Amino acid sequence: MNYKIDVYEIDELNQYRFALGSISTKTLCVFGINPSTADDKTPDHTIRKVMGFAERNGYASFVMFNLYPRRATYPHDLPDLADEIVMRKNIEIISKIVSQVVEQRKRCDVLLAWGNSFYLRDYLGACLKEIYVSLNKHPIRWLRIGELLKSGQPRHPSRPSYELKFENVDMNVFLSR
């Protein structure tokens, strides 16, 4: 898969990245915790792994989203409290792009991919639930890489082998835990 980016949503100061990727007839949407250094010109390690998983599973493109869009190389550098305005904008952009993916394919495949960093900030669970509610009107197939971690969270894409397969996730069960 070539690194061709035509979906790149950031704020004017590049402190927040809301979306990164491209839309095709077979797009994998991916949710991490927070964006790091990847931009529209250069991928980072996580994005390269996302591209590898996408390509090996038959996708022609990907769009990377995050539960919280604040750029931070390390998730523990995220703010202690979420900015509600930023959360709303993140959800608005995610909904718009997922709608475009559904128009192309009639459904959207969404890979949950964040690892144990989910527990670093209390607001990440609320972000996930609000994103899920906003996307619930779309036909979505929720996925993870292999089995859930012992913590019950989906694997981060930078760590597992490409040999692990995508597994379906029942979001109602996942969110009720």
Give the span between the Cα atoms of 168 and 1, in whole angstroms.
23
Are the C-beta atoms of 157 and 30 separated by less than 8 Å?
Answer: yes
Q: What is the pLDDT of residues 121-164, one digit of tens each?
A: 999 999 999 999 999 999 999 999 999 999 999 999 998 999 99
Phi/psi-derived region of residue 146, left when phi > 0, alpha when psi is between -120 and 50, beta in every other case: left
Instruction: Inform me whether the pLDDT recorded for 105 exceeds 90.
Output: no
**119 CA to centre of own chain:** 16
Compute the mean pLDDT over every residue in the chain, rounded to the nearest whole number: 97
Give the span between the Cα atoms of 25 and 140, in whole angstroms.
15
Whether this prediction's pTM lies above 0.85 is answered by yes
Structure tokens at 144: 């993870």
Residue with tokens 């390269």: 48
